[in-house]
Each structure stands twice: as structure tokens, then as C-alpha cells.
């Protein structure tokens, strides 16, 4: 009798998870900037290394649809207008941010440091240029110290874009985002929104660990990784001593960086970056 009850409970939990995820509408997704694209027609901003969060006018949710366990005061005063943005601590502080936003019981002192960086108004009318002005008005009217509108700027050409990217990366930033100035709001992936970084990155699952040799004897030498399409590769570069002593467990989703793809579709010179938290 206990087993059917356990199955029923598991099924209920699964249905609840699907329902929660369904509460987040389809999102605007970024493509990758290409050299043949003229950046003059775009607004440009820093690409924040944070955790994406969507405010639907009543609740703040991760991109998965799960509620963000933020303190009540953090969301009190947010507008009825839907917002899309990043929870952010600062450059190079993703791991600390991840630890804060994953806690079921939020700590006020930690959340006081978190900023909600708004970069879009879902389903709002007008061009992106018009939505930028609307975001500024909404943020100013809220008077919330933790709510910020992402700074947007224009560049004249590819050379200026390259200089801006270089400055952000040298300062510890991840890269840039380009948003077509004339674009109406729409979800999905298109050239309306593009990301520009000095490297490429992707995610793959850990399917095994390879023992180290030589100075790495007794530690993990490399991770065996599986890409979403089923192709596999080894990932050893970029692993620190901590990851080699206690590697990401099998099943973990790992973000890695690479230069380009081989003719066979595998990443060339992949380097471990971090475990991808599935919020």
C-alpha cells in the first residue's frame, strides 16, 4: 500500500513542478553577435553575470518558473508592469550570488547586496528605444534602492564596439549585449537581441570522472562530458584543485568555455568554468 502512495505523491510533485514552470511566459533569448552585423542600429549594454529573474506583476520567478525565495521587502513596491532582468551582486561574484538566491530561507543581510538589473519590459508596446525610457520611468517612480535599469548606450561602428568590449572585459565583465533599437518586444531567439563575448560558452552534463596521473594522482584528471546532442568529450583544462578533489557529480550541468567547434562538432580547447545552477 505504501508504494502506490509514494508514486501518487511523486506524480503530484511532478505535476506541481510543471504547473510552476508554466507560470513563466516564453522569454526573449539572445543570439550570438556576428561580424556581418552593423552595431549602429543597436543599443548596447554590459552582459551581467547574474541570475535571470522575471517579475510578472505579482511574483518574482527564475527562468525555470520556480519562485525566487526573496525577502518580502525586496519585491514590495515592484510595479504591476512585468519586468525581465538579472539578480546581480557585481562583476566576478556569481558564485556568491548563487549561494544567496538558492537559500529557501533568505537572509536579509545578504539580499541587501543584491540588485535587480532590469533590461526589458515583457509585452510592453513600442520599440526598444521607447521601452528604455519606460524602464527608466518605472525604476525612478519605484524609489527602490535594489531596482536598477541597465545602462544602455550606442556605438557608431564595429571598431567602437570592439573598444567597448575590451574595456568591459579588462574591468572584469563578461561581455556585451546588443538590442535592436527599433525592435518590438517578442520572445524566442532572433537578431533582436545578441550577446558578444571574447569566448564562446555552452553547457554539458557530467557523465563520468577520469583519474589523474602524475602530479594529479589521487585526484580527478578530467570530466567526461555529454553534449545535448549526445556527443561526448573530455574536460580537464580549467579544473582547480578544489574541483579535482571534489569534482562535480555525475549528472551535474557544467558550463565550459571554448574557442570554436571542430569539423566534428566538438568544442576546441574547452576549459571548465563552473557548475551551472539549474534555477
- Active centre residues (catalytic): 47
Please state the φ and ψ torsions of residue 93, each to the nearest 5 degrees: -120, 30
Residue 210, classed as helix, strand or coil, is strand
- Cα separation, 153 vs 276, in Å, equals 30
DSSP annotation string for 34-54: -TTS-GGGEEEEE---SEEEE
Let me know: does 103 contact 69? Beta carbons within 8 Å.
Answer: yes
Burial environment of residue 51 by CB neighbours within 10 A (0 to 12, 13 to 18, 19 or more): buried
Dig out the grid coordinates for 22 from the structure.
Answer: 508554466
68 touches 124 (CB < 8 A): no
Beta strands in the chain, from DSSP E residues, in sequence order: 28-32, 42-46, 51-55, 60-62, 83-88, 115-120, 147-149, 176-180, 188-196, 200-211, 220-226, 232-235, 253-258, 260-261, 267-268, 271-275
The Cα 101–Cα 80 span in angstroms is 23
> Can you say how many angstroms the Cα of residue 111 is from the centroid of all Cα atoms in its chain?
18
Amino acid at each position: 500500500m505504501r508504494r502506490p502512495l509514494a508514486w501518487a505523491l511523486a506524480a503530484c510533485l511532478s505535476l506541481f513542478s510543471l504547473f510552476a514552470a508554466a507560470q513563466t511566459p516564453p522569454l526573449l533569448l539572445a543570439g550570438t553577435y556576428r561580424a556581418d552585423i552593423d552595431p549602429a542600429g543597436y543599443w548596447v549594454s554590459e552582459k551581467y553575470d547574474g541570475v535571470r529573474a522575471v517579475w510578472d506583476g505579482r511574483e518574482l520567478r527564475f527562468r525555470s518558473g520556480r519562485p525566487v525565495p526573496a525577502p518580502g521587502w525586496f519585491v514590495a513596491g515592484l510595479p504591476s508592469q512585468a519586468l525581465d532582468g538579472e539578480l546581480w551582486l557585481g562583476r566576478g561574484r556569481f558564485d556568491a550570488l548563487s549561494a544567496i538566491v538558492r537559500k529557501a530561507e533568505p537572509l536579509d543581510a545578504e539580499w541587501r547586496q543584491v540588485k535587480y538589473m532590469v533590461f526589458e519590459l515583457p509585452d510592453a508596446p513600442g520599440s526598444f528605444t521607447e521601452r528604455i525610457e519606460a524602464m527608466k520611468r518605472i525604476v525612478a517612480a519605484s524609489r527602490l534602492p535594489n531596482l536598477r535599469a541597465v545602462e544602455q548606450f550606442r556605438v557608431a561602428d564595429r571598431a567602437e564596439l570592439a573598444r567597448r568590449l575590451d574595456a568591459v572585459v579588462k574591468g572584469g565583465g563578461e561581455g556585451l549585449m546588443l538590442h535592436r533599437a527599433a525592435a518590438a518586444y517578442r520572445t524566442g531567439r532572433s537578431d533582436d537581441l545578441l550577446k558578444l563575448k571574447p569566448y564562446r560558452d555552452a553547457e554539458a552534463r557530467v557523465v563520468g570522472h577520469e583519474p589523474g596521473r602524475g602530479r594529479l594522482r589521487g585526484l580527478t584528471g578530467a570530466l567526461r562530458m555529454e553534449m545535448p546532442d549526445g556527443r561526448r568529450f573530455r574536460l580537464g583544462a580549467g579544473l582547480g584543485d578544489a574541483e579535482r578533489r571534489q569534482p562535480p557529480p555525475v549528472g551535474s550541468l557544467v558550463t565550459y568555455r571554448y574557442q570554436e567547434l571542430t569539423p566534428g562538432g566538438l568544442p576546441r580547447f574547452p576549459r571548465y568554468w563552473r557548475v551551472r545552477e539549474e534555477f
